[in-house]
Structure 1
Amino acid sequence: MIAPMITTRNSIQTNRRHWSLLLLFALLTLSLQSCLGIGEDTTFQNKTTGPNGAQIGINKTVQDKFKGTLYFTLDHNLYSLDGKLNLKQLTKNLEIHDPAVSPDGKTVAFIIRYKDYSQLATIPSSGGQPQILLDGNGRYHPNDPFPPKSTHVWYAQPSWSADGQTLLFLSDREKENWYAATGINSPLLDLQVFALNLANPKSKIQDVAYSVFGDGGLRDASYRPNHPDQVIYTSYHYDASDTKQLVQLYIEDATALVKRPYYYHPGFDPSVPLTPETPDVANMEPSFSPDGNSLLYIRREDATHRSLYVMPIADGVTSDPNNPRFDPNSDANKQKALAPFNQSAKLMTSQFVTKPIWSPNGMQIVYIDYHGTTFDLWLATLQADPKNGGALTIKANSSIQLTDAQGHLDADCRPSWGA
């Protein structure tokens, strides 16, 4: 009985020495890897954002792989990022939304949001003191006059004209006009599209596109490059039954409401649909290519699938200078405008892909996508597919995660790309 006990004790001591050596070897291996940088993710270069010391990563492999400067918000502070991967904070202690860089790259327009209202402002692209262009601060009137109302105004999503002289923006600034026009004690709170002449800021703000009462209004408005009289936007409205939501892309003559102010009105306007009425599918977030011939947009196909598409655009569907009786609302014109939708090409599908934009040279795109648990900026290169009539596709293996924002990127704000 003694011999087996001695054997077992020796065996345990031997095993202990064996595991101790293995543990020591593992610790030495990890230490060596740390010293040599082996095993670490060195793709992203950490940069500090703001006084709280938060860190985000910028992908070092994309250095010199894109030109120009990107503008976006982290924790609703405005930042710029150039092709050399220089990250610069441009605003502090303000809640910034919707940056849009001017065509000459010298100015960034954006929204400053407060609890009950917002402001439309600009700042030099190198940083500085914001200039307030439109201030939505007002008052709440609980009893006098009746019914209760607020004179606070919301502004959102500025966008530049090609000459840098006009800013499109969204607003509910005409909500009080609904009372005067209809006598209905219910303000038109849905956002509509307006234009501000920067060359003469004191001039009257122009109506550009009307929303339809009650389902969210308009978003994502921008001018079509090389077509200064055309504006595109996403419309949120109900179908004919007033029970199902339609989310469609529309294009419109940007001057039509000014030319015929007593002819068009909310519910009857010169807008022309570019995507069909499909209650279960939403087409939204349009972004024109620099030449104005191609359109990126997001299609929400179901609750867990959003796809990035590109499509051509029909010409001559918003107006005809040679035809004084041109009717943008005619069935023939609507069919002409909808025809290119059938040529839409899917570039990619993801759960939450959103906010696509073009590079100034039209060869790359940036979009926001969701991986793991956070949203980040992604960069991809486009190419024409000769096997498919020159249709644009994303070049194989070109999609690169640009940021590791660790939850700080504001996915509700579309980035902007300046030359």
Structure 2
Amino acid sequence: MGHLMKRSKCWPIYIMLMFLTLSLQSCLDIGDNGNFQTKGMNNGTQIGINQTTQANFKGKLYFTLQHNLYTLDSQHNLTQLTRGMNVRDPAVSPDGKWIAFIATYKNYTDLMLMSTTGGQVKTLRSGNGTYIANPNSEFPKATYLWYAQPSWAADSKHLLFLSDLAKPYADAGVDAFLLDLQVFSIAIDDPTATPQVVAYATYGDGGNRDPSFRPGHADQIIYTHYQYDPKTNYKQLVQIYLEDPNAISNNPGKYRPGTSDVEVDPALALTPPEPDLVNFQPNFSPDGNAIAYIRRLDATHMGLFIMPVPTDPGQLIQDPNNPDTQKKALASYAKSVQIVSGEYISQPVWSADGKQIAYIGYSNNTFDIRLANIELDKKTGAYSLKGEPIQLTDTKGQLDAESRPFWTP
């Protein structure tokens, strides 16, 4: 009898702990395991896909799991597209025919192309190379190359991408190779031709990231620019830049890589040049009138923001170094609206109708894809969050957080 009494007294504690656990799961956006349908993968592992109506979306999401490329459609069907490759950064052409992506190896990467219907994978540009003895330095030279983050032009014939193609040369007076990633462009019908330089990097601290065209505007691209603060020489400036992709090629000799001198920079900053203020990973809305981006809030938190595109950006980038132009460009940043925040948030991508944003979120020691439903106030032009973000995947640590997801109609 005493034994039974001891057991019965434990039940209230057990029930309390159970409700506490459920409450914590809700706060952490983990979700009820019953909401996730198990999907088997070819390697024998499993992931979960949220089946609730809150997790509904239109189109297809492309992302990588254990560095294999997958697509998830609106019916929550999961399809593996590549095998035996170390894949990153998928990007689907606007005409829906091609997927560009990066294949990663030990010392280099390749820029790849495959049909959205499957079939043979084509290497557009290979970064494979060799090491070369360098008598003037203790370090050898290398002809290996890195490619990253392909992004399509509206014609589905040209690709932006990142690369360290400039490392064989250096500017006079600078005792370093330009190892930083810069933005280049190629035509997929002639990928071996010399790439066009689209955006330059400054020496050190990472170069450029996240390039893409503004929808409906072939004369405007956006990207993240990394450099050291010229005033301190050790703090970071991480800013979102807008630029005419043909500014460098149309003005030979006017601009040069490796410099932090704004007088020879064709780019226009859309975020402030404040040390340690990190604004990055910009992504245009489908109509090209807004920019979703990530901002570091503090040492342990990040936020997803949306800001409007500056008024008449095509005209502004024709005179990017004019102080009045720079002031006008920064005015939109003050209108930024925070949509969500968390310990780690990255890689926002818009749905084709502009009503949802998918992003990579972090909780319970794993990365997963989350959906944020958003709405636009047509009077104010400001976006806001509808309800709470919903966890779409439960990949159990298999999602590659360093690879960018992509969303197609």
What TM bracket, shorter-length normalisation? 0.7 to 0.9
Alignment of 1:254 with 2:254, yes or no, is no
Instruction: Indicate conservation of the 8 Å contact 2:55/2:371, yes or no.
Output: no
| CA 1:279–1:22: 2 relative to 1, 3 Å | closer
TM-score (structure 1 length as normaliser) = 0.86
| CA 1:119–1:332: 2 relative to 1, 3 Å | same
Instruction: Indicate conservation of the 8 Å contact 1:218/1:233, yes or no.
Output: yes
- Paired with 1:145 and 1:197, the residues of 2 have a C-alpha distance of 37
Give % identity. 48
Deviations 1:179-219 (A, max 9, x none): xx426442100000000112433443100000000111000
Match runs of 1:87-102 below 5 Å? 87-102=78-93
Name the structure 1 match of 2:22.
none
The alpha carbon displacement at 1:385 in A equals 3.7
- Paired with 2:402 and 2:322, the residues of 1 have a C-alpha distance of 36
Instruction: Indicate conservation of the 8 Å contact 2:297/2:303, yes or no.
Output: yes
Name the structure 1 match of 2:206.
216
Partner SS, residue 84 of structure 1: coil
The alpha carbon displacement at 1:148 in A equals 2.2
Q: Which residue identity does 2:296 align to in structure 1?
A: R
Deviations 1:71-116 (A, max 9, x none): 0000111000000111011111111011111112221111001010
Aligned length: 381
* Equivalent residue in structure 1 for 2:298, among 297, 302, 323: 302
Match runs of 1:8-407 below 5 Å? 14-15=1-2, 41-51=33-43, 53-62=44-53, 65-143=56-134, 148-178=140-170, 181-182=171-172, 184-241=174-231, 242-266=233-257, 267=259, 268-319=264-315, 326-385=318-377, 389-397=380-388, 399-407=389-397
| CA 1:183–1:389: 2 relative to 1, 3 Å | closer
- Paired with 1:293 and 1:287, the residues of 2 have a C-alpha distance of 11
Partner SS, residue 336 of structure 1: helix
Partner SS, residue 239 of structure 2: strand
Q: What stretches of structure 1 of length at least 5 have no aligned partner?
A: 1-13, 24-39
- Paired with 2:52 and 2:398, the residues of 1 have a C-alpha distance of 21
Deviations 1:151-173 (A, max 9, x none): 00000000011121110000001
The alpha carbon displacement at 1:246 in A equals 0.5
- Paired with 2:60 and 2:136, the residues of 1 have a C-alpha distance of 49
- Paired with 2:163 and 2:181, the residues of 1 have a C-alpha distance of 5
The alpha carbon displacement at 1:142 in A equals 2.9
Instruction: Indicate conservation of the 8 Å contact 1:231/1:254, yes or no.
Output: yes
- Paired with 2:235 and 2:148, the residues of 1 have a C-alpha distance of 25
Q: What stretches of structure 2 of length at least 5 have no aligned partner?
A: 11-31
Q: Which residue identity does 2:97 align to in structure 1?
A: K
The alpha carbon displacement at 1:262 in A equals 0.7
- Paired with 1:20 and 1:280, the residues of 2 have a C-alpha distance of 56
Instruction: Indicate conservation of the 8 Å contact 2:36/2:394, yes or no.
Output: yes
- Paired with 2:347 and 2:128, the residues of 1 have a C-alpha distance of 28
TM-score (structure 2 length as normaliser) = 0.88
- Paired with 2:286 and 2:311, the residues of 1 have a C-alpha distance of 16
- Paired with 1:315 and 1:20, the residues of 2 have a C-alpha distance of 69
- Paired with 2:65 and 2:290, the residues of 1 have a C-alpha distance of 29
Partner SS, residue 182 of structure 1: coil
CA RMSD of aligned residues (A): 2.3
Q: Which residue identity does 1:71 align to in structure 2?
A: Y
The alpha carbon displacement at 1:224 in A equals 0.6
Instruction: Indicate conservation of the 8 Å contact 2:238/2:276, yes or no.
Output: no
Instruction: Indicate conservation of the 8 Å contact 1:251/1:318, yes or no.
Output: no
Instruction: Indicate conservation of the 8 Å contact 1:380/1:400, yes or no.
Output: yes
- Paired with 2:154 and 2:311, the residues of 1 have a C-alpha distance of 18
| CA 1:17–1:286: 2 relative to 1, 3 Å | closer
Instruction: Indicate conservation of the 8 Å contact 1:111/1:157, yes or no.
Output: yes
- Paired with 2:97 and 2:135, the residues of 1 have a C-alpha distance of 45
